[in-house]
Chain A
């Protein structure tokens, strides 16, 4: 073969910075979009992506990946996996596809933000490939569930979710719009690729893939692990950018972005992935508890990634480690009790054997969460279903948009974290949610949570039926 080795020309392909003079550097790279942190192009030219790939390699490798994933799908299409799936597993798929598919597609534009506006040439090429990756992830996670749309109306949410005002989707949009859709190029690399993708998507995709394989859903398992092989390439984009920032004395700005993104990712995970792993996935298919998954994939990995990078653990790390054993139980109880307001059928996941598993994994579960479930179970047993459904709204955090909750029963510790800002009283789910808001209030202050909208009369009639219609949950 008389073809050059890719590394012979790789650096030429990323030697693409020049000195503009028909427009100024700030006109070509507006700070609000580029996030140069006042650093000139030269500072960004020693950005070096560890995981290198060229265009010809990309189209070849990605063609082969798709050939694999789509052939598994085709082979299993007639396998009735969906029809015979455990109801809990169907909810896993509906919740995942709805909250993730078009969010991944939107990430293509977050990658395009980096591609157009980053002053680091290596980052511009890597995010070109990252942009393509996200189109893949969006399109696959629409094409794969579409097969089930004709079997179950809730599968329509795999597409529809992002267009609705369903409360979990307001939370998902608020988070993704905050950390990736409305940030400058460098902040996107720190908040989306470094903070969210290196840790959390690994867990959502690889952790869940393990459960999926256990549940016999090989199409889903194969799909999400194939997706994750792309993730490891474009999730790297933020690392070298952090190095450049820290080398140039911008550690504090970098740390703040990591801390805001990590907490937001955690809160969204507590409502989506927590219940999936500890309540929906059939007991016999649970590889690890949500807390164990989090400790392995997020806590351990992040402590390494942050220290390797020369960053500190977030100031709230102890609060985070404490909440790991609590928050998602509340999110599950909340989404279950308010189940008419979610687009999947939550599994309660509290049979006696499941409660034993929960008590073992989370000592004290029965004295806290169990206390609430006991009252709930009595109502169901006694047929008092009117007490098994909500008649008001939970108070919702003005940052993460999720119910403000805490530990019930014998260790009751529920608390509001209020803040008055410009004459309006805001409420937060935790001290950290409030801190995130305070880092950039003008970014969030004008936003109305679903409770704010209800109180402002934007949801009519002012009852649960009106709320369901507002959330596009009512028929049609």
Chain B
């Protein structure tokens, strides 16, 4: 259990934002925490998609259930939260 700051770069939004999450959070939980500060604020929700998390510049997403502690992410590092179509 430890507070862990990350920079959220949410697809469609215009600015990086600070999100405080927990090292035990999964990537889905991280995406949800990031969405609070973008979706319905400046980004329309996209019911046809789920949100995936990746390191900035990476092509592969983190597995949805991977924990932050196991991701190799550094404090304040920027992650991209990307809409992925589910259909």
Direct contact of A and B (CB under 8 A): yes
Given A375-B43, A379-B40, verify A334-B15 contact (CB < 8 Å): yes
Judged by a CB distance under 8 angstroms, whether B85 is at the interface is no
Quick one: CB contact mask for B45-87 with A, threshold 8 Å, 1 for yes? 0000000000010000000000000000011111000000000
A334 CA / B42 CA spacing, docked (Å) = 11
A-B contacts, 5 of them at CB < 8 A, read A330-B14, A372-B14, A394-B18, A415-B56, A427-B16
Do A427 and B42 touch (CB < 8 A)?
no
Residues of the A chain whose Cβ atoms lie less than 8 Å from the Cβ of B43: 371-372, 375, 408
Q: Is the CB of B16 within 8 A of A376?
A: no
On whether A395 and B16 interact (CB within 8 A), knowing A375-B41, A375-B43, A387-B41, the answer reads yes
A395 touches B78 (CB 8 A): yes
A residues in contact with B36, CB < 8 Å = 391
With beta carbons under 8 angstroms apart, the residue of A374, A403, A405, A416 that contacts B56 is A416
Q: Is the CB of B14 within 8 A of A406?
A: yes
Contacting pair B9 A376 (CB below 8 A): no
Please report the total number of B residues contacting A with Cβ < 8 Å. Answer: 25
Contact with B along A371-387 (1 / 0, CB 8 A): 11011100100001001
Q: With the chains together, A451 CA to B78 CA distance in Å?
A: 14
Q: Is the CB of A405 within 8 A of B16?
A: yes
Q: Is the CB of A392 within 8 A of B18?
A: yes
Q: Is the CB of B15 within 8 A of A394?
A: yes
Say whether A74 faces chain B, with CB atoms less than 8 Å apart: no
User: Which A residues are closer than 8 A to B by beta carbons?
Assistant: 330, 333-334, 337, 369, 371-372, 374-376, 379, 384, 387-388, 390-395, 403-409, 412, 414-416, 418, 425, 427, 451, 454-455
Report yes or no: A408 in contact with B16, Cβ–Cβ below 8 A: no
Contact of A333 among B14, B74, B76 (CB under 8 A): B14
Q: Does B29 contact A (CB under 8 A)?
A: no
The smallest C-beta distance from A400 to any residue of chain B, in angstroms, reads 14
B18 touches A414 (CB 8 A): no
Chain A residue with minimal CB distance to B79? A416
**New contact pairs (8) apart from A412-B13, A414-B13, A416-B56, CB-CB < 8 Å:** A333-B14, A333-B15, A337-B42, A391-B36, A393-B18, A403-B15, A405-B15, A418-B56
